[in-house]
Amino acid sequence: MLYDEVSQDRHKLMADIAEWYYNDGLSQQDIAKKVNLSRPSISRLLLEARELSIIDIRINHPIPTANSLEIELVKNFPHLQSAKVLERRMGSEDDTMRQLGRLGADVLENVLEDNMILGLSWGTTIHSVVEELRPKRLSNVKVVQLVGGVGAPYSSIDGPEQVRRAGEIFGAQHYYLNAPLIVDTPEIAAALREDHSIKEVLELAKQSNIALLGIGPIIPEISTQFHSGYFSFQDIRDLEKLGAIGAICVCFTDIQGNRIYVPWCEDCAISIPWEDLLKIPIKIGIAKGKRKAPSILGAIRSGGIDILVTDDETAEEVLNLNKNPSA
């Protein structure tokens, strides 16, 4: 049977039964009395709901972490409140990314509380976290987009999609920043920032209690901004000449964590400003890959990250770089 062939009423009944059984802890017999059906009918409806993916059951194995590296990171970087380091084991890169997403989701779920505002950036690692989030009963939570969108063909990892998914999972209001990440001129960007709906979302973003942030490297092969067409090879070279090593929400730093203002990019960007980003109490940075280590080091030193989520190979590279006097 196809999902489309299930009547809306039957779909709702199966969803309600699943909610009562799995989330509220009612027995099948209790549910049967509640909806005036037999217990075997409830059992069959639960089975059908699984077949139609109305119920999605996941087995969450414990995520192996490298405790010694976590301690070493916090010890070496005063800006870090904590670190979570995935201990890589045998498996594909997809497996590693999924586990890193699970680790990031655990961190986020542990700090997110009632009446909070959650700000999200975008990218593959942010997407991996959102995909691993589990429903959590929260009151008056808002999810807001921190930077403009990049659009097709990156819609699945773009900001609006992450905000929508997280909002649905937490039963939260969600707010889209309906503007491109970067526009053609500073004048266009200034006008968009004054648009009522965009201005409202940017103001809400500044009030975020938690930010979930990706860390973008200045490396063409692994830069989504480059592959999405926002940066050219010449742009990358210009950024390198300025000493930029990475970016958070289109705000650049060097490896020492010094802020590098890039007017031709930032003046055209629709994003939370750097000074407001720094004021967010809990900034969770998630990134992996040895080639991203310089970008991560710069982000940590800048104060742009309070909690780092990464893997053991990357953590070791960041710590080694930190010991290098020239880094």
CATH of the domain at 20: 1.10.10.10
Taking the C-alpha atoms of residue 81 and residue 46, their distance in angstroms, rounded to an integer, is 43
In a domain, 60, yes or no: no
pLDDT band (50, 70, 90) for residue 326: confident
Looking at the structure, do residues 37 and 129 belong to the same domain, yes or no?
A: no
The two structure tokens encoding residue 206:
């500044």
Between CA 29 and CA 248 the distance in angstroms is: 52
Can you give the pTM of this predicted structure?
0.81
90 with 29, same domain: the answer is no
23 located within any domain: yes
Host H or E run for residue 40 = helix 39-51
| Closest CA relative to residue 29, chosen from 21, 47, 56, 54 | 21
What percentage of the chain carries pLDDT values higher than 70?
93
Return d(Cα 182, Cα 213) in angstroms, integer: 18
Tell me, what CATH number does 277's domain have? Answer: 3.40.50.1360
**10 lies in the same domain as 99:** no
Here the tokens at position 42 are 């409830």
Any domain includes 269: yes
Average pLDDT over residues 301-307: 97
Q: What is the layout of strands, in order, in the sheet containing 210-214?
A: 82-86, 307-311, 282-286, 210-214, 117-120, 142-145, 173-175
In a domain, 57, yes or no: no
- pLDDT tens for 261-281 read 999 899 999 999 999 999 999
The whole-number average pLDDT for the span 124-145 is 93
250: left (phi over 0), alpha (psi -120 to 50) or beta: left
Q: Is 58 inside any structural domain?
A: no
Q: Give yes or no for residue 1 having a pLDDT over 70.
A: no
Q: Predicted confidence band at 164 (pLDDT cuts at 50, 70, 90)?
A: very high
Could you tell me the residue range of the domain that residue 182 belongs to? Answer: 67-323
pLDDT over 60 at 222, yes or no: no
* 120 located within any domain: yes
Q: Measured between alpha carbons, how far is 169 from 179 in angstroms, rounded to an integer?
A: 24
Q: What is the pLDDT of residues 22-46, one digit of tens each?
A: 888 899 999 999 999 999 899 999 9
Between 136 and 148, the higher pLDDT residue:
148
| Residues 12-21: tens digit of each pLDDT | 899 899 989 9
State pLDDT tens for residues 103-125.
999 999 999 999 999 999 999 99
Cβ density class 156-176: b for 16+ within 10 Å, e for less? ebbbbbbbebbbebbebebbb
Highest mean pLDDT among 9-23, 156-170, 191-205: 191-205
C-beta separation of 31 from 20 below 8 A: yes
Question: Does residue 59 sit within a domain?
Answer: no
